[in-house]
Structure 1
Amino acid sequence: MKTYTTLLFTIISFFNIYCFGQLKIQGQINDTTKRPIANVSLNLMRDTNVLKTTFSDMNGEFIFNAVNSGQYIISASFLGREEIRTSLKVYRDTTILLYLQKSTDVILKGVTITASKPLLERKIDRIVFNVSNSIAAKGTDLTQALALTPMLRIDGNGVSISGKSGVSVMINERIVNIGGADLVNYLKSLRSDDVEKIEVLTTPPAKYEAQGNSGMINIVLKSNPNLGWSGDISSTYAQTTFPANANSLNLNFQSKKIAISGKFRQNYRKTRPTEEFDVIGENSILSSDKRQDIQRGVGLNLSMDYKATDKANFGLIYDIGKTSYKMQIENSSVYKTAQTIDSVLNTYSNHFNPSLSQTLNVYYDQKLDKKGKKLSSGFNYFSTDPETKVDFSTFSNRNGMAEQVRNTSGLNYIIWSAQSDLTLPYKWASMEAGLKFTNFENDSDVGYFNLLNGNFILDPTKANVFQYSEQNLAAYYSIQSDFGKKWSAKAGLRYEYSIIDGYSPTTGEKTNRKYGRLFPSVYLSYKINQNNTLSATYSKRINRPNFRALNPFRWYTNPYTYSTGNPTLQPSYNHNSEVAYLYKDMFSLTLYLQKLVDGYGRIVTVNEALKIVDYRNYLTQYSSGLEATFAIKFFPWWENREFVSLNFVKAKSTIQDVLLEDGAAVYYNIFNSFKINKTFSGTFNFWHSLPATQGNVYSEGRSFLSIGLRASLLDGKLQLNASAEDILKGTVSRGKVYYNTFTQYYNNYYDSRRFSLTASYSFGKAKVKGNRKQVTFKETQRVN
């Protein structure tokens, strides 16, 4: 570590020779009892001109960077306290201590104007949506606050950014280690009133893992120094075809030294999806599924943060979740040669999929000085053991016989990682550097059993054991600096080296692979004037296959249809570039270009009566698009947000049977929130995807209409929310997938029309937030 630190300081000294020395003003603001005050608005002024504005953090600390020498005035204001103004002369880095006393005015004799953050901000590497300044985000759960954020979409399957998939969600710069429906249920257990802002990173910097073409979402929670107990309890009733419910209980305790949080979550959902997949060609298969899905889940999250000294704190987070998925499927498959029906298979199957997941995070943060230098270290552990048992009976009209089969899958995932991050802020630049090691282990044992004479007998030709291990070593360095009042730049470089071993004792098949790659990222921002900002970004990403895509075992849905993985599957790479424009912190326009190399995906093959779905690298794709966001409060009672995305795709395939076409896609979203009075408010949300062609997929248009009514009672402690979603049943997914010898048609609906009613109540000291720290552990998202 000493050698590592010495190298960083050598680099810093080298840069400092060539950079203009700019100063900084930092300090702390307290009340008259010397307790820090958070969220105080501070202005740096020269004469009557405001040059910079900032807010104090939870420790009352604030900073003004990139300040030239000279005479300044600092003004500080906070509701209920006397405004102060302090004059100071700056000729070097300056530290000051300010005090705010309570206002002595009993009767308001005038109008007080307080500073307010804009609804939308563009920073050098992210877009910021200030939730605390949005009237629509009051008294809701966290999923509804995310739905308000420009570029974001959220449904029962997870959170996504427009044009991205597999998005990572962070809380206070730390990854939430669950995904999909479990992530949605966890976010529903948190309150939007705890959120200060939501940051959208479409091209994540070098600090974060290069995995995935996904963007990142960082949820920044409010902070304050209040001590004591707090909590909230929430219950939701929802109705689709069947009733559903979700409940949560959060308890927090905070003292001067320790913060403890406990969160319990429970959910139950039963739905009636339908799926149709028709393969039309010389040999055709018409397949229709009627399903009944049941999902149950419970979870507990415990966290503790201990402030050992003013410069050191450590803590741990433990999360355990038990989920159970059950599916009952009635499948009808019609097999044709030309227009003649050969046979009809009716398959009745029961799927059972229980899973227990555990995550443990231990971290230690050490401040190196009072200027913000910090060393953060952590250890992460994740394990899950999903088990699947599928019993299906297939009846053929040709022989009238029933074929009964049991398909089992036992998986065991263990992932652990260790990392260390160094933050070095200087008056002329801010630097970050870090190291990380991650180890993946996955063992799977999948069986296929035929029912013979009343007993299930293993078919060794369709059974498989697969062992997979992967080690990833990563290191990164980034630097960010402001040049004058108009220019800002940030650059980073991340290196990742992977060692992969896969082995199937059943087939004797082995896979060994080693590779290392560099992942650069560059950001540049130019502030034309107070109302107009331009920025440009570039980053390179990698998309490693998930474990199921690598496992060569065959998962059967009936005796003639199966999906399989590909142990030789290679990762794909993405090059992402963006140019963005922001006007008056309310209108954002982004032009982006993407190049996908060695893209992989599912390929359908029909071999006589056999339908096979496997994974292959086959795609090179060029994407370009234009995205526009508009967010404004027309009046104090009316908030409006609009988003539109235009996307153009040109693709090439190395598989001749995959027919690709150039195409385009258009998506738009309109959101309105209305404050009726102090108690009631309403929302109206509509999004629409127009018909689109991308690659070899044509999709028909989809839409979503929702309305909501909210009531805030008992001084905001009791919140009641009622909403109706997918009112027009516009989320039915229809389209075509083109191949050289056949076309696959799909028509799917996942029972998303829903009415829900939520009641939540807060108790204790409402401003106590407990321990909200999360720990980066993105690799768990590759578990499937």
Structure 2
Amino acid sequence: MKTLASLISIILLSITNNYAQNSLTGNIQTSNQSPVDFAEIYLLKSNGAIAKQSYTSTDGSFTIDSIKEATYLVQIYSLGKKHFDKEIFINKPIDLGTVIIEQDTQLEEIVVKTNKKVFERKADRTVFNIENSVHAINNDAVELLKLTPGLQVDNQSIKLIGKNELRVMINDKFVQLNGEELIQYLKSLPSNSIKKIEVITTPPAKYEAEGDSGLINIVLKENRANAWNNSISTGYKQGRKGTYRLSNVFSYNKGKVSIKSSFSTALGKSQINENATIYYPEKLWDGQSIRFDNNNNIAGNFQLDYQLNNKTSIGIQYMGNVYDPKSDDTDHITVNNYVDNSVQNIYTNAKNTGVNNSHAVNLHLTHNIDTLGTKLNSDLDYFNYTNDQTRLFNTKTEGVNNIGDKLLIASTTGNQNIENISAKVDIEQPLNWMNLSYGIKTSFVTTKNKNNFYDLTNGHAVEDIKQKDNFQYNENTQAIYASANKKINDKWTVQAGLRLENTQTKGYSVTYETESKKNYTKLFPTLYISHTLNDDNTFILNYNRRIRRPAFWELNPFQWYVSAYAIASGNPKLEPSYTNKVELSHTYKNKLTTTLTYSKADNMFSQYPTIDKELNRQIYLRDNIMNSTYYSLSVNYMYNRLPWLQSQLNVNAFYLENKLIKDVSINFKDGGAVFFSTNNTIYFNTEKSLSAQVDFTYESKVKANLWELDPSFKLGVGVKYSMLDNKLNMSIYADDIFRSYAKTVYTTTNDIRQKYKTDYDQRYINVGISYSFGNAKIKVKEHQGGNTDEKSRK
């Protein structure tokens, strides 16, 4: 660590090297003498390479110092348009004076005429541009992720096809939750605040190494300079049950002050249907369950930024979310012998109540160190998450002719609290011969879990000491990284990075009197090589190594009773798993992209079911049980030759090989599947104010790991209409029209075959309306904290 710290110090000192005292100054204004901030000034060498670059401050002024004596081509850009292009010999301080540009006309052109593709495929990611989509109104982030090509989303996880869960970022910053809690958090993020969703399969060293399958980056909307804007959206979504939504986003930027706030709320329910069939040696258990989940939540965000001077800005942000986790479920299990005679009926009724909320505070600073583009970003974060839940259930077992009747009434309680403090510093430093980025981060996490079990069968509460637990887990991580990007020539570009993470963990269970400590240091390299063969063909080869750590709750050994016949528990001895991945892609004419992927994951952990044959009980355990090898071929084609049609076709085929590393009775399967999706946007007029969306997804039979899945498909159709210069928008969208996307899953453990079918109420119709208003004459920067990596593992 000392050596790495010294290396950072040496690099920091390098930015203070002295050059000749030549400079270029000036002031950019519009024709009505208004200053133009964030205009781009470039000094180009004779070969076209960038020698220096800078940006104007809020008063329109700029200064570029330490310029080597030479002749440069000076260019000035604003809002994507070049306004100044002149060759100047610089051998002394030169003042361009006031440069007048016509900005308003260009701004109007950008607002009205620019219309990005709904779906785009780039070298390292797939991009879903929400703003231009039917789905931009009366939706949340979860529904948008379900519609993003290459992803599989349910009520418990967000996955890349054939892979493990993905990490989620907002504006390049990690969200510190996962599983069901992450899903609930993203449901509070309204679609009218989202600009686009990026699926990144091979993240660079800049990002935390957590997440073996890649990353999702949700990019929030930006705002125009010298403007205020307000957008309000409302609507209704009807599946088996209905949900109302309302959201409002406000932004203001004038002079040195930038403010952004948002509010969203939802009120309603959803219905989940689940069937489970277990083939015991002498009996067949056939269960049907219906659960009603609340969708009630309130979320808010407030951000204030202040420009101290033309180099430094500071800011503070608060994000909060309150969710009502109430749900009711009923379960009926019919027990038959194999001559189809009924033996037992088992009925379970349950109510779940509790409190679920999160609060995050971020302090951030951005400082432009010099006019070469060297920039320092720092974040200090505090995050708190509370999840208190109580499950009251009764299970009644009725035998034939009332023989062997049993009753269990019980209550389980779980209280979880997570606190995280983190700090990080990142530096971006462009040099003449390469671009560098490097930084450090430290994070301190404490999670506390208290659980109790009470037997209420006899009319009064009897505490079961064996089911009482008080589990605390601490995790501290220190990280340092460096990355370099070099464009060798017009055909070759190389980027290499290295991240070092040192982690200390401690878990202690009061009930089981167990303590587990770990301390490990790991390196995570990344490498990207890009070769442009000609104007039509580009090849990219990349490699990275990543880690997947257990979620905090997965380490808790407490047993959670779903019913008298189903129990789930965590494992404090879970170890991280590591994945090495190589990916080769070819892009033809920026339309057809073919990607080959190979990855090897070691020491993978997973939940797996076991069956107690004597007690007829399902037990869900977690352990590091396998090594996995993954092969995939994906083909993506973008069609836009017709002015009224934008279409994306995606085919993904994968094959998975697994090797057990623990002595468990599981029937593992090597196998794969083929996935196909097409997303089509149809425009009915030249202004593109009236459009339709047609989406189709097909998944073949899947054989992978513990599971076999039956084929499934879904069709979605919608219409969007924009009026009043795109200020008023209305949409309607229906998904899974034929209710054909429910999952049927098979597995075998302890030689007992099981079948599960889950319908997450994915057939729905969504109607929404949004209206935006404001003053375009008077940019709010979005910022997320530096501790969001830890949030995602809740």
Question: Normalising to structure 2: TM-score of the pair?
Answer: 0.86
| Distance in 1, Cα, partners of 2:79 & 2:625 | 60
Instruction: Look up the SS of the partner of 1:491 in the other structure.
Output: strand
1:670 aligns with 2:672: no
- Structure 1 residues 230 and 550: alpha-carbon distance in aligned structure 2, compared to 1, 3 A threshold: same
| Distance in 2, Cα, partners of 1:436 & 1:491 | 20
What is aligned with 1:652? 659
CA shift at 1:673, angstroms? 0.6
- Structure 1 residues 327 and 134: alpha-carbon distance in aligned structure 2, compared to 1, 3 A threshold: closer
For the Cα contact (< 8 Å) 2:134–2:733, is it kept in 1? no
What is aligned with 2:303? 303
For the Cα contact (< 8 Å) 1:136–1:639, is it kept in 2? no
- Structure 1 residues 567 and 268: alpha-carbon distance in aligned structure 2, compared to 1, 3 A threshold: same
**Pairwise CA RMSD:** 4.1
| Distance in 2, Cα, partners of 1:147 & 1:560 | 32
CA shift at 1:428, angstroms? 1.0
CA shift at 1:713, angstroms? 1.3
What is aligned with 1:719? 729
For the Cα contact (< 8 Å) 1:139–1:712, is it kept in 2? no
What is aligned with 1:381? 382
What is aligned with 1:539? 544
Cα displacement string for residues 364-399 of structure 1 (whole angstroms, at most 9, x for unaligned residues)? 122211112122221111112211111111111133
Instruction: Look up the SS of the partner of 1:455 in the other structure.
Output: coil
- Structure 1 residues 139 and 707: alpha-carbon distance in aligned structure 2, compared to 1, 3 A threshold: same
1:556 aligns with 2:566: no
Instruction: Look up the SS of the partner of 2:456 in the other structure.
Output: strand
Of the three residues 478, 482, 490, the one matched with 1:485 is 490
Cα displacement string for residues 219-264 of structure 1 (whole angstroms, at most 9, x for unaligned residues)? 4556565324321111020111122111111121212211111111
1:254 aligns with 2:246: no
Instruction: Look up the SS of the partner of 2:102 in the other structure.
Output: coil
Instruction: Look up the SS of the partner of 1:634 in the other structure.
Output: coil
What is aligned with 2:771? 761
| Distance in 2, Cα, partners of 1:201 & 1:146 | 13
CA shift at 1:602, angstroms? 1.2
Instruction: Within 5 Å, give how 1:153-552 maps onto structure 2.
Output: 160-177=159-176, 180-191=182-193, 195=195, 198-220=197-219, 223=222, 226-282=225-281, 285-335=285-335, 343-398=344-399, 399-451=404-456, 453-552=458-557
Which amino acid is 1:410 matched to? Answer: N
For the Cα contact (< 8 Å) 1:501–1:513, is it kept in 2? yes
Which amino acid is 2:751 matched to? Answer: T
CA shift at 1:723, angstroms? 0.6
- Structure 1 residues 265 and 140: alpha-carbon distance in aligned structure 2, compared to 1, 3 A threshold: closer
Which amino acid is 2:683 matched to? Answer: K
Judge which range, 758-767 or 139-148, deviates more: 139-148
Identical amino acids, percent of aligned pairs: 25
Judge which range, 90-99 or 741-750, deviates more: 90-99
| Distance in 2, Cα, partners of 1:502 & 1:419 | 25
CA shift at 1:39, angstroms? 8.7
Which amino acid is 2:709 matched to? Answer: S
Of the three residues 653, 661, 668, the one matched with 2:669 is 661
| Distance in 1, Cα, partners of 2:648 & 2:455 | 57
Of the three residues 625, 628, 633, the one matched with 1:621 is 628
Cα displacement string for residues 753-783 of structure 1 (whole angstroms, at most 9, x for unaligned residues)? 1011111111112587534111233334455
1:35 aligns with 2:35: yes
CA shift at 1:187, angstroms? 3.5
For the Cα contact (< 8 Å) 1:431–1:480, is it kept in 2? yes
For the Cα contact (< 8 Å) 1:120–1:586, is it kept in 2? no
| Distance in 1, Cα, partners of 2:714 & 2:546 | 31
What is aligned with 1:684? 694
For the Cα contact (< 8 Å) 2:277–2:286, is it kept in 1? yes
Instruction: Look up the SS of the partner of 1:397 in the other structure.
Output: strand
Which amino acid is 1:658 matched to? Answer: I
| Distance in 1, Cα, partners of 2:394 & 2:103 | 77
Judge which range, 295-304 or 270-279, deviates more: 270-279
| Distance in 2, Cα, partners of 1:55 & 1:163 | 44
CA shift at 1:751, angstroms? 1.0
- Structure 1 residues 530 and 555: alpha-carbon distance in aligned structure 2, compared to 1, 3 A threshold: same
CA shift at 1:597, angstroms? 0.6
Which amino acid is 1:304 matched to? Answer: L
What is aligned with 2:643? 636
Which amino acid is 2:345 matched to? Answer: V
For the Cα contact (< 8 Å) 2:134–2:719, is it kept in 1? no
- Structure 1 residues 165 and 359: alpha-carbon distance in aligned structure 2, compared to 1, 3 A threshold: farther
| Distance in 2, Cα, partners of 1:523 & 1:26 | 37
Cα displacement string for residues 622-674 of structure 1 (whole angstroms, at most 9, x for unaligned residues)? 00101121223222221111111110111111335112222121111111111
| Distance in 1, Cα, partners of 2:369 & 2:184 | 38
Instruction: Look up the SS of the partner of 2:474 in the other structure.
Output: strand
- Structure 1 residues 43 and 574: alpha-carbon distance in aligned structure 2, compared to 1, 3 A threshold: same
Which amino acid is 1:226 matched to? Answer: A
| Distance in 2, Cα, partners of 1:353 & 1:391 | 11
| Distance in 2, Cα, partners of 1:343 & 1:549 | 34
Q: How many pairs are equivalent? A: 762
Instruction: Look up the SS of the partner of 2:183 in the other structure.
Output: helix
CA shift at 1:62, angstroms? 12
| Distance in 2, Cα, partners of 1:669 & 1:408 | 42
For the Cα contact (< 8 Å) 1:282–1:741, is it kept in 2? no
- Structure 1 residues 691 and 29: alpha-carbon distance in aligned structure 2, compared to 1, 3 A threshold: farther
Which amino acid is 1:391 matched to? Answer: L
Instruction: Look up the SS of the partner of 2:740 in the other structure.
Output: coil
| Distance in 1, Cα, partners of 2:772 & 2:114 | 28
- Structure 1 residues 430 and 171: alpha-carbon distance in aligned structure 2, compared to 1, 3 A threshold: same
Instruction: Look up the SS of the partner of 1:419 in the other structure.
Output: strand
Instruction: Look up the SS of the partner of 2:325 in the other structure.
Output: strand
- Structure 1 residues 285 and 597: alpha-carbon distance in aligned structure 2, compared to 1, 3 A threshold: farther
Instruction: Look up the SS of the partner of 1:182 in the other structure.
Output: helix
1:696 aligns with 2:696: no
For the Cα contact (< 8 Å) 2:167–2:211, is it kept in 1? no
For the Cα contact (< 8 Å) 1:303–1:771, is it kept in 2? no
1:779 aligns with 2:786: no
Judge which range, 29-38 or 456-465, deviates more: 29-38
Instruction: Look up the SS of the partner of 2:187 in the other structure.
Output: helix
What is aligned with 1:111? none
Which amino acid is 2:294 matched to? Answer: I
| Distance in 1, Cα, partners of 2:235 & 2:36 | 37
| Distance in 1, Cα, partners of 2:483 & 2:639 | 34
- Structure 1 residues 351 and 223: alpha-carbon distance in aligned structure 2, compared to 1, 3 A threshold: closer
Which amino acid is 2:730 matched to? Answer: L
Instruction: Look up the SS of the partner of 1:567 in the other structure.
Output: coil
Which amino acid is 2:680 matched to? Answer: N
What is aligned with 1:19? none
Return 5+ residue gaps in structure 1 as ranges: 16-24, 107-113
- Structure 1 residues 768 and 413: alpha-carbon distance in aligned structure 2, compared to 1, 3 A threshold: farther
Judge which range, 449-458 or 424-433, deviates more: 449-458
| Distance in 1, Cα, partners of 2:727 & 2:164 | 36
Which amino acid is 1:247 matched to? Answer: L
Which amino acid is 2:354 matched to? Answer: N
Return 5+ residue gaps in structure 2 as ranges: 16-23, 107-112
What is aligned with 2:110? none
- Structure 1 residues 301 and 221: alpha-carbon distance in aligned structure 2, compared to 1, 3 A threshold: closer
| Distance in 2, Cα, partners of 1:382 & 1:448 | 29
Instruction: Look up the SS of the partner of 2:295 in the other structure.
Output: strand
| Distance in 1, Cα, partners of 2:25 & 2:334 | 73
Instruction: Look up the SS of the partner of 1:658 in the other structure.
Output: coil
